[in-house]
Amino acid sequence: MRIYFSGIGGVAIGPLSRIALGVGYGVCGSDKSPSLITNELESAGIPISFDQSGAFLQSEHNKSPFDWFIYTAALPENHPELVLARKLGIKTSKRDELLAQIIADKNLKLIAVAGTHGKTTTTSMLVWTMEQLQIPVSYSVGSTLSFGPSGTFDKNSQFFVYECDEFDRNFLHFSPEISLITSVDYDHPDTYPTKESYLDAFREFGEKSKKVIAWQENSAIFDEKNLTILYDSNKNITLPGEHNRKNATLVIEALKNIGIDAEESEIYQAINSFPGSGRRFEKLAENLYSDYGHHPVEIQATLQMAKELSNDVVLVYQPHQNVRQHEIISQYTNDIFHDANEIYWLPTYLTRENPDLPTLIPQQLAKNIDKEKVHFAELDDNLWQEITAARNSGKLVLCMGAGTIDGWIREQLAKN
């Protein structure tokens, strides 16, 4: 099979393209610009074009026809490559249909990690621990990893570990052997118009799973027949941050359920050595951290972890998606930002927006937070000077958001 990936540098499609390559499919693709993920894929031998006009797709199709065109959810219906793929009669779909087929074709048991927060860290942690225990594993994680590629296929594996995203109801493509539920807090209003519709999707996901492992506060969503309920984090876990310790507790419960041949002490040693996943409290430089989180619950948990390392925490925050801000504006409170000594609040990163909704400005979003600690900023030289001064004075600077903030910070570090 020959597959073309449009948006191949994305955190979900990038790992899938590498998995497809490992399975033995012919793979190539395109994206708007180079990135850490495209660099990783090109190193693996995948041809990538940064021209998405359709010319690369056409020339590659002329050499050897494509069987499948995979595209990101962000791709508009009138995108030149998508239009051309349909014109050429190539099968088109989003990523999860292909991944579900690979899992079925290779007879792999799916361990799915789902939830509003903590998916990436928990998935990465499970992969890390299995690799440390020398258990063959295929996997896909929605982030760059510090210890390996973000996705891979191991021909010796029985298990596929996957970060299952609820956005666009993607996770309902799968019927997992085991599902780990990290948390359930209403999110993605562009997919789920009400909280109840969001909970219903998780309920359906649980029904499609042979086994569900969830925290007590979310247990009412799921059927008791196939449910294991967790109440407290495991006391043998020494990772920083209570949310990390809870994620690790889910991992340990999953390992118990698949019946691995390892001593408890070996499992704890492996999990307590977890180096972290990309964009999850990732240390970029001295006193400078980057985190993908952009929901109030994630912000609060990450600030608590930062506070364990420093008494003086400076948060640089880029909200994500205006439609989401309309849903969560009331959650931006002093309690959420309690562990930040200062906040630099950026304009919202706009994507998949409803044009009928007015764009909420930073001053509106931060109206319920102590004014003396909030500064309104842009991604510019002035902000970089403030970040540099804070770091030089020994403060911990934490940059949070899923938009352009991480790329900008890395560019500034490279230049300076």
86: in domain: yes
pLDDT in tens, 73-106: 778 999 999 999 999 999 999 999 999 999 999 9
- pLDDT 10s digits, 163-195: 999 988 999 999 999 999 999 999 999 899 999
CATH code: domain of residue 90: 3.40.50.720
With a cut of 90, say whether residue 107 has pLDDT above it. yes
308 and 267 belong to one structural domain: no
- Regarding whether 71 and 112 lie in a shared domain, the answer is no
The whole model's pTM is what?
0.74
Q: What is the pLDDT of residue 132?
A: 95
Q: What per-residue confidence (pLDDT) applies to 141?
A: 92
Residue 58 in domain? yes
Mean local confidence (pLDDT), 103-119: 95
Are 250 and 290 members of one domain? Answer: no
Residue 147, pLDDT above cutoff 90: no
- Residue at 80 is within a domain: yes
Q: Please indicate, yes or no, if residue 99 is contained in any of the structural domains.
A: no
Tell me how many domains the chain contains. 3
CATH number of the domain at 110, please. Answer: 3.40.1190.10
236 confidence band (pLDDT: 50, 70, 90): very high
Boundary of a domain, candidates 225, 248, 272: 272
Tell me the mean pLDDT in the region 243-260: 94
Q: What is the mean pLDDT of the chain?
A: 94
pLDDT of residue 231: 97
Q: Which of 206, 239, 272 is the last residue of a domain?
A: 272
Within-domain flag for 187: yes
Whether 40 and 165 map to the same domain: the answer is: no
Mean pLDDT of the 9-38 span: 92
The confidence score (pLDDT) of residue 347 equals 98
Over pLDDT 70: what percentage of the chain?
100
Question: Are 250 and 363 within one domain?
Answer: no
Same domain, residue pair 86 and 139: no
Specify the higher pLDDT residue, 138 or 33. Answer: 138
Are 317 and 258 within one domain? no
Residues 217 and 319 in one domain: no
Domain closes at, from 55, 74, 94: 94
Assign residue 296 the CATH number of its domain: 3.90.190.20
| pLDDT per position as a tens digit, 337-366 | 999 999 999 999 998 888 999 999 999 999
Is there a single domain that holds both residue 14 and residue 163? Answer: no
| pLDDT value for 146 | 77
Is residue 101 situated within a structural domain? no
68 and 12, same structural domain? yes
User: Would 14 be classed as within a structural domain?
Assistant: yes
Q: Does 100 reside within a domain?
A: no
CB atoms within 10 A of CB 320: 20
Full residue range of the structural domain in which residue 154 is found: 106-272
pLDDT-based confidence at 243, cuts 50/70/90?
confident
| Residues 268 and 287 both lie in one domain | no
Residues 338 and 246 in one domain: no
pLDDT for res 11: 82
pLDDT at 144 over 80: no
